[in-house]
Amino acid sequence: MKILIAEDSQLSRSVLSSILIKYDYTVIEAENGQEAVDKYIEHDPDVILMDLMMPVMNGYVATKKIKELAGDKFIPIIVITSIVETSSLTESVESGADDYLNKPYNAEAIHAKIIALSRIKKLHDSLREHEEKLAKLNKQAESELLVAEHIYDFVLDKGHSGLSNVRKYMRPVTNFNGDILLAAHTPSGGFNVMLGDFTGHGLTAAIGAIPASDIFYQMTAKGFSIGDIVVELNQRLHKILPQNMFCAASFIEIDQERTTMSVWNGSMPDIIVTDVDGNLINRVASSHAALGILATEKFDRKIDILSLQGNERVYMCSDGVLDARNAESIKYGMKNYLALFENNKQVPVGFNQIVDDLFGFAVDGEVNDDISIIEVNTDKDVDAWHVDNKDKVGNKRITTEWSASISFDANSLKQTNPVPLLLNMVNGINVIHGHKERLYTVLSEFFTNSLDHGLLQLDSSLKSSPEGFQEYFTQREKRLNELTESKISINMEQKHLDGGWVIIIHVKDSGKGFDHKQLRKSLDDNAGLSGRGIELIKQICQTVEYNEKGNEVTAVYSFAKK
Amino acid sequence: MSITMTKDDANNEVTIVIAGRFDFSMNTDFRKILSDPDSTAGKYVIDMGAVEDIDSSALGMLLLLREKAGGDNANIVISRCRPDIIEMLKMANFQTMFKIA
């Protein structure tokens, strides 16, 4: 440890010096204040012993100068005084001195003071080091946030800005949102909306948001259905995000005619559909894991299809809405959110009321998470894009006529589900992006009806209770195993009809036929145990006709109207 | 707010008891348990009886545990959750990845 002694008396210096050397300190000597300042700069000592009365520059001035030079750095200065000089103590402390020593020198006292002060210096130094580190980290975090914010703004900007039928309220908890809203039209005039909620905020969220938005916009522009998009997004996010991070997301896809809406909800609050007056018509709860958790083979792309009139409002929100707390720390929760849409309300609920109600509730409370509330209007007339592009829709695609038939005997029915196969075939023949999920629904429904009711003669009323549901599948497995001499034929034909394009789907089974009228359940049963029902198929298709016996059905699916 | 782990060597079973708000503030302690060689077992029980609230980082931590416990083959029971927490776990579809008892 280096000690600087500033003392004009040769004798005093030698005495002090020899004491310090005895304690193994390195000693630097200065004969006056100016020299002390110079040697401080030159040697950077750990402690300074400073006499007050010196020629050229006195101890007060030198102390002041050295303290100024040291800035934030702590350099302990001990002034040396005689008893008679005690009145000058205040002045020396005001100049910046940290402690004092009385003459004549006492070796023990000097040593003790040096130890005590160097301990304080150490503390001061490590504090300063931490502060510097923290300041540096803060600065770094700030600049990273700025980058992330830029990325987010850029990513989000190209999305919904042009969509007149989407309203949004997005309030981030930090500088910017971990929630993302992506929305775009499909080439055929429908549109896709995704509301995503990444774990975390800042850069971590942005890492996933960039590829997510690219995939969403590119695939939507190419006409892929949301089923295809969620699979791709999940795969990419599964690959790039750490295991403990994911993106909860809800998707809706509304077709160009506003007759059906496909929904995929992965770990987001219920998606709400209301009529034009704000009455609840439907809600779709989460039935999937968030994006990025499951490997592709475990991932479930199953979507719900709801029918539309073309005058609904669809509400999506992030779980920050449910997590908002009031002054008593009670959560807003799904209950309050759903209560907004209760049908006996005097005043119909709209976008503004939802936002007002939430913040009215949480007015004295806390909001810990990003909050997003989205309203999508299914009315074509408020969709500026649709109005502008009406004439272009459907004319760009080069479409060809084709037909394909495939039939399955008892053996192959036991082994395969032909529907995905059929669909892949269709995709291979002709690009009908954006219609895949709907065709899948139609084909699945017909095929299931033919197999379960036509060939296996199962009673669908069994499915009205959970126990019966189980029984239904036990029976199904048993009868399927015993099945012989049966056949299901599927024929699909794509052709030009009345200036537009249609796919005609014909499904026939070798069974006795079944009471298809029984199957015409209303869409209210959609969320029940009995599946989607023929009524939904009628919403998706232009026409659906069963023969009298009930073993043959023909549906016309129109995908490019004039 | 606490998190404790006990191991039943005879049954090769680890029990993790979590109390209070299960959120990002538990991240360090939870990861410490995950990296503890003692926390390797054939079966896991997460006792959430005293958990008041969970957030998405808690879900992330559970996923980390699931990965450690063998991913799709993991045997993890999440037990004694309050109804509102079960609701949140179900919203995240965790009943397909964990046993919720």
Where is B5: in which H helix or E strand? strand B2-8
Give A179's contacts in chain B (Cβ within 8 Å). none
A461 or A53, which is more confident = A53
How open is the CA angle B11-B16-B22, to the nearest 5 degrees?
Answer: 160
CB contact under 8 Å between B60 and A244, yes or no, is yes
Asked whether residue A158 carries a pLDDT value surpassing 70, the answer given is no
CB contact under 8 Å between B60 and A246, yes or no, is yes
CB contact under 8 Å between B55 and A369, yes or no, is yes
Beta bridge partners of residue A240, listed in sequence order: none
Asked whether residue A449 carries a pLDDT value surpassing 80, the answer given is yes
A222 touches chain B (CB under 8 A): no
ipTM of the complex: 0.88
B92 touches chain A (CB under 8 A): yes
Beta bridge partners of residue A81, listed in sequence order: A102
Burial A497-506 (b: 16+ CB within 10 A, else e): eeeebbbbbb
Asked whether residue A523 carries a pLDDT value surpassing 90, the answer given is no
CB contact under 8 Å between A319 and B56, yes or no, is yes
A245 touches chain B (CB under 8 A): yes
Decide: A507 and A489 in contact? Cβ < 8 Å.
Answer: yes
B70 touches chain A (CB under 8 A): no
- For residue A289, the chain B residue with the least C-alpha distance is B93
Q: Please state, in angstroms and as integers, the Cα–Cα distance from residue A301 to each residue in A290, A313, B93, following that order.
A: 12, 24, 13
Confidence grade of residue A343 (pLDDT, cut at 50, 70, 90) = low
B93 touches chain A (CB under 8 A): yes
Residue-wise pLDDT for B23-72, tens only, equals 888 988 999 999 988 888 999 999 999 999 898 889 999 999 999 999 88
Confidence grade of residue A375 (pLDDT, cut at 50, 70, 90) = very high
Asked whether residue A161 carries a pLDDT value surpassing 60, the answer given is no
How open is the CA angle B54-B58-B62, to the nearest 5 degrees?
Answer: 125
Residue-wise pLDDT for A224-254, tens only, equals 888 889 999 999 999 998 888 899 999 999 9
CB contact under 8 Å between A199 and B57, yes or no, is yes
CB contact under 8 Å between A200 and B72, yes or no, is no
Give A246's contacts in chain B (Cβ within 8 Å). 56, 59-60, 63
Percent above pLDDT 70 for chain A: 86
A200 touches chain B (CB under 8 A): yes
- For residue B91, the chain A residue with the least C-alpha distance is A267
Cα–Cα distance measured from residue A125 to residue A273, given in angstroms and rounded to the nearest whole number = 62
C-beta neighbour count of B36 within 10 angstroms: 12
Nearest to A395, CA basis, from A189, A191, A218: A189
Backbone phi, then psi, for B78, in 5-degree steps?
A: -100, 115
SS3 string, A410-468, reads HHHHHHCCHHHHHHHHHHHHCCCCCCHHHHHHHHHHHHHHHHHHHHCCCCHHHHHCHHH
Cα–Cα distance measured from residue B84 to residue B89, given in angstroms and rounded to the nearest whole number = 9
Nearest to A66, CA basis, from A23, A14, A30: A30
B56 touches chain A (CB under 8 A): yes
Average pLDDT of chain A is 83
B72 touches chain A (CB under 8 A): yes
Picking from A230, A244, A370 by the largest number of B CB atoms within 10 A of its own CB, the best residue to mutate is A244
Q: Please state, in angstroms and as integers, the Cα–Cα distance from residue A324 to each residue in A361, A364, A370, A437, following that order.
A: 8, 11, 10, 36
Cα–Cα distance measured from residue A29 to residue A21, given in angstroms and rounded to the nearest whole number = 12
Q: Which tokens go with A17?
A: 């010096």
Where is A232: in which H helix or E strand? helix A226-240
- For residue A288, the chain B residue with the least C-alpha distance is B93
Domain boundaries B2-100, corresponding CATH code: 3.30.750.24
Decide: A196 and A206 in contact? Cβ < 8 Å.
Answer: no
CB contact under 8 Å between A243 and B60, yes or no, is yes
Confidence grade of residue A65 (pLDDT, cut at 50, 70, 90) = very high
Cα–Cα distance measured from residue A189 to residue A388, given in angstroms and rounded to the nearest whole number = 10
pLDDT at position A143 is 82
Beta bridge partners of residue A183, listed in sequence order: A193
Asked whether residue A174 carries a pLDDT value surpassing 70, the answer given is no
Task: Tell me what the mean pLDDT of segment A55-72 comes to.
Answer: 91
Asked whether residue A553 carries a pLDDT value surpassing 50, the answer given is yes
Q: Which tokens go with A506?
A: 């014909």
CB contact under 8 Å between A286 and B93, yes or no, is yes
Average pLDDT of chain B is 91
In chain A, what is the greatest distance between 2 CA atoms, to the nearest angstrom? 127
Q: Which tokens go with A313?
A: 């409002």
Where is A306: in which H helix or E strand? strand A304-307
pLDDT at position A287 is 92
- For residue A270, the chain B residue with the least C-alpha distance is B91
Confidence grade of residue A32 (pLDDT, cut at 50, 70, 90) = very high
Cα–Cα distance measured from residue B24 to residue A346, given in angstroms and rounded to the nearest whole number = 42
pLDDT at position A201 is 65
Confidence grade of residue A532 (pLDDT, cut at 50, 70, 90) = low
Give A333's contacts in chain B (Cβ within 8 Å). 84
A436 or A24, which is more confident = A24
Cα–Cα distance measured from residue A181 to residue A375, given in angstroms and rounded to the nearest whole number = 11
Backbone phi, then psi, for B26, in 5-degree steps?
A: -95, 0
Beta pairing class for B13-22 and B43-54: parallel
Asked whether residue A30 carries a pLDDT value surpassing 90, the answer given is yes
User: Between B56, B84, B90, which is nearest A199 by CB?
Assistant: B56
Percent above pLDDT 90 for chain A: 30
Task: Tell me what the mean pLDDT of segment A175-183 comes to.
Answer: 76
Cα–Cα distance measured from residue A69 to residue A92, given in angstroms and rounded to the nearest whole number = 17
Q: Which tokens go with A86?
A: 């005690």
Helix (H, G, I), strand (E, B) or coil at A133: helix
Which DSSP string do the residues of B46-76 spell out, in sequence order? Answer: EEEEEEEEE-HHHHHHHHHHHHHTTGGG--E
Cα–Cα distance measured from residue B50 to residue B21, given in angstroms and rounded to the nearest whole number = 9
Residue-wise pLDDT for A94-135, tens only, equals 888 998 888 788 888 889 999 999 999 999 999 999 999 999
pLDDT at position A528 is 38
Nearest to A341, CA basis, from A423, A393, A282: A282
B36 touches chain A (CB under 8 A): no
- For residue B95, the chain A residue with the least C-alpha distance is A289
Confidence grade of residue A364 (pLDDT, cut at 50, 70, 90) = confident
List, as ranges, residues 252-311 from A with C-beta within 8 Å of B.
266-269, 285-290, 293, 298
Q: Which tokens go with A160?
A: 């919904």
Residue-wise pLDDT for A286-300, tens only, equals 999 999 999 988 898
A546 or A433, which is more confident = A546
For residue B92, give how far its alpha carbon lies from the nearest alpha carbon of chain A (Å): 4
A273 or A500, which is more confident = A273
Asked whether residue A562 carries a pLDDT value surpassing 70, the answer given is no
Cα–Cα distance measured from residue A50 to residue A3, given in angstroms and rounded to the nearest whole number = 11
Helix, strand, coil shares of chain B, percent, nearest 5, are 45, 35, 25
CB contact under 8 Å between A289 and B92, yes or no, is yes
Backbone phi, then psi, for A468, in 5-degree steps?
A: -65, -35
- For residue A290, the chain B residue with the least C-alpha distance is B92
Picking from B25, B87, B91 by the largest number of A CB atoms within 10 A of its own CB, the best residue to mutate is B91
Residue-wise pLDDT for A481-493, tens only, equals 888 888 999 888 8
A168 touches chain B (CB under 8 A): no
Q: How far is CA A336 from the centre of its chain?
A: 23
CB contact under 8 Å between B60 and A199, yes or no, is yes
User: Between A199, A243, A267, which is nearest B91 by CB?
Assistant: A267
B97 touches chain A (CB under 8 A): yes
Q: Which tokens go with A41?
A: 């700069």
C-beta neighbour count of A558 within 10 angstroms: 18
Cα–Cα distance measured from residue A538 to residue A520, given in angstroms and rounded to the nearest whole number = 10
pLDDT at position A395 is 46
